Amino acid sequence: MLILIMSCILPVTVAANSSFTQSDRDRLIRLETKVDEGMKATNQRIDDLKSEMNKRFELMQDDINRRFEQVDKRFDQMYTLILWGFGILLGGMGLLMGFVLWDRRSSLAPAIRKTKEIEERAELLEKAIKEAAIDNPGLKEALKHFGLL
């Protein structure tokens, strides 16, 4: 940087000085050559640093992508586990409801059968009592009193 500033200031000071010799001109050319070489070296160093940084960024990007892939795999595994869990849970609930309905139907069937038998027997008894009430006036009055006749 100092060389660059000096290369800008030096021609101004040289132009002010009227005693500009061939040796000064040679010195100025050597100085310009050194500045050019320094700039080339600096540019080369910057390019090397850029390529090094690009390599590092690519490695970091690859590492980040690999980690994201691992996280995605874990989420897929958890999603699959949750689906299996809900499937098993809902399947178990369905089986339980099926068992409850089957058990209820099978346990109520004898009670329904017994109730029908009792209703049929009660109808027969009622018919028999009504027929007996035709010949018996006291029974006929009792049935009227209870609203059965």
Report the distance separating Cα 87 and Cα 94, nearest Å.
10
Q: Is residue 16 part of a domain?
A: no
What is the span of the domain harbouring residue 65? 21-145
How many domains does one find in the chain? 1
Tokens of 39: 């700039």
Tokens of 108: 């109520």
Tokens of 14: 């040289």
Q: Is residue 7 part of a domain?
A: no
Q: Is residue 12 part of a domain?
A: no
pTM over 0.85: no
Q: Is residue 40 part of a domain?
A: yes
pLDDT tens for the chain, residues 1 to 149: 556 556 656 555 555 555 788 999 999 999 999 999 999 999 999 999 999 999 999 999 999 999 999 999 999 999 999 999 999 999 999 999 999 999 888 888 888 999 999 999 999 988 888 888 888 888 888 888 888 77
